[in-house]
């Protein structure tokens, strides 16, 4: 059984890739909807939530954990690994490395929550994998909350996306890293602004491949999905079709 969690709906983008890579596995998805968003919280607050959820999922029999949240990974993946040394933990980090390898202009940007944008982990990732590349880090407060409220048609969101992304394109950025799992659901809106001038970089498939490697030894499941949320669990199921993930609904146990 694979436990996957996020502050809310964002990690469902990673879950979709995991289900595709491991169709026979059983999953538990936990959305911390009582505490979303994480992006404006302190590292200590995020660590407390990550340890509580990781403990709960381990207690429910999960033998592999996927932290489907860049913010939680940056603030707390080390603490989670230390708390559960016998359980493999896969984190999600912005795709700086693929973006730096693929860019032609030598200019890339990362869209992230405020917490991830200022995290030591992101800045180390940039130092380690984007030597000689111009990396612009753009914090995007409020975007995850729009996804969470399923307010994807809100004109205020569309104009904030344009306001943040247009200047990046004007500077010649040709790879834009989705540094928050919620932003995968904003890809259509982002691509409307980008209009072919840059490519989005999403690591969901790479995370799923890593989880598949680490799950080799796990017993096969029945392809079931258990949904949990710290508030309004019913909204999680209802959100699936709204996020174009209706194909996951028949798996829900
Ligand atoms: N989905 C999360 C991430 O990847 C966090 C969004 C939030 O709760 O602020 O960063």
pLDDT tens digit at each of 253 positions of the chain: 999 999 999 999 999 999 999 999 999 999 999 999 999 999 999 999 999 999 999 999 999 999 999 999 999 999 999 999 999 999 999 999 999 999 999 999 999 999 999 999 999 999 999 999 999 999 999 999 999 999 999 999 999 999 999 999 999 999 999 999 999 999 999 999 999 999 999 999 999 999 999 998 887 789 999 999 999 999 999 999 999 999 999 999 9
- The HSE-up count of residue 68 (CA atoms within 13 Å, CB side) is 32
11 lies in the same domain as 75: yes
- In short, whether 69's Cβ falls inside 6 Å of ligand 1 is yes
Tokens representing 52 are: 């509580």
106 lies in the same domain as 195: yes
Residues 241, 52: Cα–Cα separation, whole Å:
29
Paired strand residues for 178: 111
pLDDT at 216: 85
pLDDT at 220: 79
Q: Which of 12, 33, 39, 119 to mutate to test the pocket of ligand 1 (most atoms within 8 A of CB)?
A: 39
Tokens representing 64 are: 């592999």
Tokens representing 161 are: 């996306």
Specify whether the CB–CB gap between 29 and 53 falls below 8 A.
Answer: no
- The HSE-up count of residue 4 (CA atoms within 13 Å, CB side) is 28
For 3-32, letters b (16+ CB in 10 Å) and e give bbbbbbbbbbbbbbbbbebbeebbbbbbbb
66 lies in the same domain as 187: no
Q: How many CB atoms lie within 10 A of CB 86?
A: 6
62 is catalytic: no
CATH of the domain at 166: 3.40.50.1860
140 is catalytic: no
The CA–CA distances, whole Å, from 141 to 34, 36, 41, 122, 170 equal 18, 13, 12, 17, 22
126 lies in the same domain as 196: yes
- In short, whether 95's Cβ falls inside 6 Å of ligand 1 is no
240 lies in the same domain as 218: yes
Atom nearest to 11 CA in ligand 1? 1
pLDDT at 219: 79
- In short, whether 181's Cβ falls inside 6 Å of ligand 1 is yes
Alpha carbon of 188 to ligand 1 centroid (Å) = 18
Nearest to 180 by CA among 11, 1, 58: 11
Residues 37, 248: Cα–Cα separation, whole Å:
24
pLDDT at 177: 98
Q: How many CB atoms lie within 10 A of CB 101?
A: 12
Alpha carbon of 219 to ligand 1 centroid (Å) = 30
- In short, whether 140's Cβ falls inside 6 Å of ligand 1 is no
- In short, whether 12's Cβ falls inside 6 Å of ligand 1 is no
Domain residues for 155?
Answer: 96-201
75 lies in the same domain as 106: no
49 lies in the same domain as 115: no
127 lies in the same domain as 194: yes
Nearest CA to ligand 1 atom 9: 39
226 lies in the same domain as 134: no
Nearest to 80 by CA among 61, 45, 60, 54: 54
Give percent helix, percent strand, percent coil of the chain, each to the nearest 5: 50, 15, 35
Residues 233, 218: Cα–Cα separation, whole Å:
28
Number of domains in the chain: 2
6 lies in the same domain as 78: yes
- In short, whether 116's Cβ falls inside 6 Å of ligand 1 is yes
């Amino acid at each position: 059984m694979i436990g996957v969690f996020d502050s809310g709906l964002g990690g469902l983008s990673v879950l979709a890739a995991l289900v595709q890579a491991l169709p026979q596995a059983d999953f538990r998805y936990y959305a911390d909807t009582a505490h979303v968003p994480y992006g404006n919280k302190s590292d200590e607050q995020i660590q407390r939530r990550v340890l509580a959820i990781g403990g709960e999922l381990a207690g429910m029999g999960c033998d592999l954990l996927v932290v489907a949240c860049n913010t939680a990974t940056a603030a707390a993946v080390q603490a989670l690994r230390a708390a559960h040394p016998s359980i493999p933990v896969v984190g999600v980090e912005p795709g700086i490395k693929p973006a730096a390898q693929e860019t032609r202009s030598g200019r890339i940007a990362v869209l992230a929550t405020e917490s991830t944008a200022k995290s030591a982990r992101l800045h180390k990732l940039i130092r380690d994998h984007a030597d000689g590349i111009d990396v612009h880090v753009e914090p995007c407060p409020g975007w995850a909350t729009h996804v969470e409220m399923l307010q994807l048609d809100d004109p205020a969101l569309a104009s904030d996306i344009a306001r943040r992304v247009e200047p990046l394109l004007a500077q010649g950025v040709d790879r834009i890293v989705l540094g928050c799992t919620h932003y995968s659901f904003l890809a259509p809106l982002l691509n409307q602004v980008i209009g072919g001038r840059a490519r989005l970089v999403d690591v969901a498939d790479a995370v799923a491949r890593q989880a598949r490697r680490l799950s080799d030894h796990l017993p096969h499941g029945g392809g079931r999905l258990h949904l949990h949320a710290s508030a309004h669990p019913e909204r999680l199921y209802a959100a699936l079709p709204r996020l174009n993930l209706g194909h996951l609904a028949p798996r829900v146990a």
